Amino acid sequence: MIKITNKSNEKLSFKTDVNTSLMNAIRRSANYIPLLAVDSLEISKNDSALYDEIIAHRMGLLPLKYEELKLPSECDCGKEEGCGKCAIKVKLSAVGPGIIYSDQLSPKGVSLLKMPITILDKEQELEFVAIAKMGRGIEHAKFSPGLIHYKYEGDAKNISDEDFKKITEKDAKELEVSIESWGQLPAKEIFLKAIDSLNGELKDLLKQVK
């Protein structure tokens, strides 16, 4: 049983009588969903106050438009920089003064949100080429699609310590589940794809057991 309490692209909340073992397995399976993120960065100009490493770190955290590309391990191109089937190039060439935002990246629309990268003073420049590849959250947090968390029904802040100790999985009737998206996928899709990932892992396990 699932009862939706809040639904939008960014967040999905519901109550369910699913046990915690299954919900935890679904939560962990969200990190098996392949997503696109910046994997490498070659900076040719950086006059900003930020070190190259900081620029690279900020680029890695950008939520990029979801693409149905192959994982590098599944692509037969054999190229470190990847190919059109497993990677995309993201470029930036900017001149100050002003704040440089992620919506200035090329190709247009590759960045889902307008996020600041750095600040350039007059005549300062920032120029780089990034390679974005598919990956999973189990490999690196930058590939994580969002956050799934749950708790027993009721807010623990509003009950006494003695009552809190009495809450067990056996006593609790429902779980309150929340799914928050970082932007690449709607919250509902994260939940559905996490279930698909879990089913895939169970099928692989079954094959190995047989």
pLDDT in tens, 83-137: 989 999 999 999 999 999 999 999 999 999 999 999 999 999 999 999 999 999 9
What residues contact residue 64 under an 8 Å CB cut-off, 6+ apart?
36, 37, 38, 90, 110, 111, 112, 132, 184
Helix axes 187-209, 20-29, angle to 10 degrees: 100
pLDDT for 171: 56
pLDDT top residue among 148 and 78:
148
Do 87 and 132 touch, CB atoms closer than 8 A?
yes
Summarize the confidence of residues 42-50 as an average pLDDT: 96
- Token digits for 174? 């429902």
| Structural domains present in the chain | 2-32+145-209 (3.30.1360.10), 35-139 (2.170.120.12)
Using one digit for the tens of pLDDT, what is the confidence trace for 149-171? Answer: 998 876 555 555 566 555 555 45
- Token digits for 163? 């009552």
Give the H or E element holding residue 21.
helix 20-29
**Average model confidence (pLDDT) for the chain?**
89
